[in-house]
A and B are shown apart, each in its own frame.
Chain A
């Protein structure tokens, strides 16, 4: 898969391929190009792209493909965050450090807005990144802990499709559920 033990050769070649400035290690890694639904192009290292089960199977089906991989269900912003996450995970895979990984995951999650988190879930689901999906699910679960119905609705950006009467009936029926939730 990755170019593991190849000797570091011609630095210029690789930097030229990669727009990322952090490729000082300069291994001739294969890049895979992904295209988001809003037509942004992402070049990622093959090892990162192979974290996406969906992309991986794309190449398993057509190994020689050099095409751009279209991701019609994925927009640029969550995709870039997902790529960022997977890059780090690969480092931990090569160099397992559970504590460090936990710390990174926690930081990754806390700095994301509610919307970012929620938007990443479909992406992680579509790309079939199980680790990320687990992490995101738990983060979402934590964030809606002890929150009101309104809060949860806003959190997920879901429209209230109950009529006023139905809503009033729910409130009557589940009066206790509306007690003791956090203020915000």
Chain B
């Protein structure tokens, strides 16, 4: 008997497909023509994204940056009662690139490409995609005079704009010693400051309540990290969870801050010394996102992108004009995973 699952209405099949992981979808896609048709339809890609649970997290950590290879490891954070990290798999990009992993957004992986060894500005927070715009901030790597400008690029209007970060916490002498990071929480942009002086060892998280309105920055939470850093090598909030716990990267380690003001360090995710640590997260379903990252095409971004126009333009060439990031994601899903 030819089984009658093939006679099921599409919506049932789609429901099943929406909860299976991408690794299983890869197999499902090639099962038969009608399944291939369902699974390669862009509308399905959206469904899969929305069906994703929020509890698990995939991380991609760049661990090795050699002359010709960029290698990364993909980790899965099992987030729950006993949070722990699992290494999911290692991946490598094509040879001939000297590239640094910057971040990822909607299935795109952003790479920093450099042809010369020289001091580079840091580019962060490319994943801060709100209201159809990407946002990022730039740190100059040499002094305490950190910039407080947020650059953004709107995909629809193809306009660049700048805005300001909230006023950072300053120490008693009026200096600020912290790293800033941008991200998205709900529909809002947030900024996190990681202060690392012994008398000011907090992480401050501010949310921009009205998008684009500098005056609407409001402090959302402060957590004391009390970490023995004099100066962490890097800081990036990877992901917020619903209960305001959050995961962040600092000083080559992953940390999980929970609402009880406690911070947990990942045990074995120490990132090779001397390499710029970078991490990215996809908040899709557990096990699902790892394939996203593997399958994502890389956007090579030129080293000299200090004028923000260049870097964003590079990113945009990969996409088509006027495409909302969500649609873009759908297209990437089709092109890459299907």
Report if B119 contacts A (CB, 8 A). no
Q: Which parts of B3-29 form the interface with A (CB within 8 Å)?
A: 3-9, 12, 15-16, 19-21, 23-24, 26-29
Q: Which parts of A90-149 form the interface with B (CB within 8 Å)?
A: 115, 118-119, 121-122, 125, 133, 137-138, 140-141, 144-149
Q: Is the CB of A121 within 8 A of B24?
A: no
Determine which residue in B4, B24, B28 has the highest number of CB atoms from chain A within 10 A of its CB, and name it: B24
Distance, CA A160 to CA B31, complexed state (A): 6
Q: Is the CB of B3 within 8 A of A153?
A: no
Q: Is the CB of B27 within 8 A of A149?
A: yes
Q: Is the CB of A153 within 8 A of B24?
A: no
Known contacts A125-B8, A157-B5, A159-B2; A152 and B24 CB within 8 A of each other: yes
Which of chain B's residues have a CB closer than 8 A to the CB of A68?
A: none
Report if B124 contacts A (CB, 8 A). no
Count contacts on A: residues with CB < 8 A to the other chain: 35
**Closest A-chain residue to B338, C-beta based?**
A174
Which residue from B5, B19, B23 sits with its C-beta under 8 Å from A122?
B5
Which residue from B4, B12, B27 sits with its C-beta under 8 Å from A144?
B27
Which of chain A's residues have a CB closer than 8 A to the CB of B8?
A: 121-122, 125
Taking the nearest CB of chain A, how far is it from the CB of B44, in angstroms? 15
Report if B64 contacts A (CB, 8 A). no
Distance, CA A101 to CA B212, complexed state (A): 48
Q: Is the CB of B3 within 8 A of A174?
A: no
Taking the nearest CB of chain A, how far is it from the CB of B286, in angstroms? 11
Q: Is the CB of B26 within 8 A of A158?
A: no
Report if A181 contacts B (CB, 8 A). yes
Report if A151 contacts B (CB, 8 A). yes
Taking the nearest CB of chain B, how far is it from the CB of A73, in angstroms? 8
Report if A17 contacts B (CB, 8 A). no
Report if B118 contacts A (CB, 8 A). no
Which of chain A's residues have a CB closer than 8 A to the CB of B4?
A: 119, 122
Q: Is the CB of B5 within 8 A of A141?
A: no
Q: Is the CB of A137 within 8 A of B287?
A: no
Distance, CA A167 to CA B27, complexed state (A): 12
Q: Is the CB of A181 within 8 A of B27?
A: yes
Taking the nearest CB of chain B, how far is it from the CB of A118, in angstroms? 5
Taking the nearest CB of chain A, how far is it from the CB of B289, in angstroms? 15
Please list the residues of chain B having a beta carbon within 8 angstroms of any beta carbon in chain A. 1-9, 12, 15-16, 19-21, 23-24, 26-33, 35, 89, 287, 294
Can you pick out 20 interface pairs between chain A and chain B where the beta carbons lie within 8 Å of each other?
A119-B4, A138-B19, A140-B16, A140-B20, A141-B19, A141-B24, A145-B21, A145-B24, A146-B21, A149-B30, A151-B27, A152-B24, A157-B5, A158-B32, A158-B35, A159-B2, A171-B30, A177-B29, A177-B30, A180-B89
* Inter-chain pairs besides A125-B12, A145-B21, 8 sampled, C-beta below 8 Å: A121-B12, A125-B8, A138-B19, A152-B27, A157-B1, A158-B32, A162-B32, A170-B30
